[in-house]
Amino acid sequence: MAAVKVIFTAINLKNEKTDPLRVYLTVEGKKLPKQFVLKIEDAGVSENGTEQVRLKNDEFSLIVTNSTEYMDKKLAGFRRRLGEKVFILCEEYTPEILTVKSVSKPDEEF
């Protein structure tokens, strides 16, 4: 079976969300909860010499590897730390997320 693409968005402590990102569900039939965690790990260097980072959740069989530079830009301000572990809190992307984000105002403006 080929991996299934899952589009997700990361959430920070202010409940702001990133632009949609892609991760792969590698086991058929896994049901994702409303929110889930992706652990951030070093993935070494690619064949073309680019440093890489891996996002994964073993419990839900989710994984994606991309360049460290790209992920650093996408996830700036969204990483969380628990001891030595670095992770992001995520939820599956729905088109309503961008609609709500575009018409809402941060709490500080009230």
Between 85 and 106, whose confidence is greater?
A: 85
Q: How confident is residue 9, by pLDDT bands cut at 50, 70 and 90? A: confident
Q: What is the pLDDT of residue 98?
A: 55
| Number of structural domains in the chain | 1
Taking residues 59-88, report their average pLDDT.
Answer: 92
Q: What is the mean pLDDT of the chain?
A: 84
Q: Which helix (H) or strand (E) holds 98?
A: helix 95-103
Q: What is the pLDDT of residue 102?
A: 59
Cα separation, 35 vs 12, whole angstroms:
12
pLDDT over 90 (residue 49): yes
The residue type at 32: L
Q: How confident is residue 11, by pLDDT bands cut at 50, 70 and 90? A: confident
pTM metric for this prediction: 0.78
Q: Is 58 a domain residue? A: yes
Instruction: Please provide residue 35's backbone torsions phi and psi, each rounded to the nearest 5 degrees.
Output: -125, 150
pLDDT over 50 (residue 14): yes
Q: Is 110 a domain residue? A: no
On whether the CB atoms of residues 38 and 87 are closer than 8 A, the answer is yes
Q: Domain range for residue 56?
A: 4-105
The residue type at 44: G
Cα separation, 5 vs 25, whole angstroms:
6
Would the CA dihedral through 80, 86, 89, 92 be positive or negative?
positive
Q: Is 28 a domain residue? A: yes
